[in-house]
Amino acid sequence: MPRSEEHIRTAFLVNLLFTIIEFAGGILTNSLAVTADALHDLGDSFALGLAWFFERIAAKGKTPLFSYGYRRFSLVSALVNAIILIIGSVLILAMAIPRIISPEPVNAEGMILLAVLGILANGAAAYSVHRGKTMNETMVTWHLVDDVLGWAGILVVSIILMVWDLPVLDPLLSVVLAIFILVNVLRSFRKTLIIFLQGVPPSVTLRGVEEALLRLPLVQGIHDTHLWSLDGEHHILTTHLVVGKECTSEEMRQVKCSAREKALEMGISHATLEIEALGEACEMGEE
């Protein structure tokens, strides 16, 4: 089993189990912050299960239908997860605003216990996926970071409520967390969408790649360069390198080898290179 799939599976199982505990705790404590987090975690569980499913598909090799394999399927999961997080944040805001106007009493002691369990459970799951490089793992990490921050806030608020009778803090916390997550998820959603639409991945630039290849010995020009990513981790490059007419076939082979090594240094795992002699007409044309 690929490591990314194993990480997401662990996060899914932990999240699903704790969601059940949350719903019961939210009812017993009458806390909107806990109930809202349970609702959010229910969406998380669905999203994590979907992420696990798509990560399993993404691990498949190439087929006659999908010549690059199934890695881009993880982007579908990342997009769906982002949409779920956005909808969840909006729902939390809709639930919290009326409670700010008319606060209701909550069970602070029960909130403290749930908060400690929530931090431990979601923190362990977040740690298991935070080192992942795919956009799918990145979006899953945001789901879990969302939960850890939420429970940390609930812990602080519940301690305050043990001392002062300020039930308005419960819905106020929900609003702050929802806005924080909404802003960060929208940023990740934009990055995922760019990759999904075959834009240049954020870790490299088209100009930077072309300049690096132009500095290679014997390379006199470059054109028709395209750079995109399968899943945010595995980048693809295609380009035409122009060399002098006097270059031998062995020198052209060396240019290709040097260009592929340079591409790997820049995080590009798959480079398709075409070598042309100076003055040779390119059938693709310069774009």
List the pLDDT tens digit at each of the 287 positions of the chain. 555 566 677 777 877 888 888 788 877 777 766 776 777 677 677 777 876 777 677 667 778 888 877 777 778 777 887 887 788 788 878 878 888 888 777 788 888 888 888 888 878 777 766 665 566 666 667 767 777 877 888 888 889 888 888 878 878 877 887 787 788 788 888 888 888 888 998 888 999 999 999 999 999 999 999 999 987 778 999 999 999 888 888 989 999 999 999 999 998 989 999 998 887 777 665 54
**pTM of the full structure:** 0.66
CATH class entry, domain 3-196: mainly alpha
Contact 266, 208 (CB under 8 A): yes
206-277 CATH = 3.30.70.1350
**Domain extents in the chain:** 3-196, 206-277
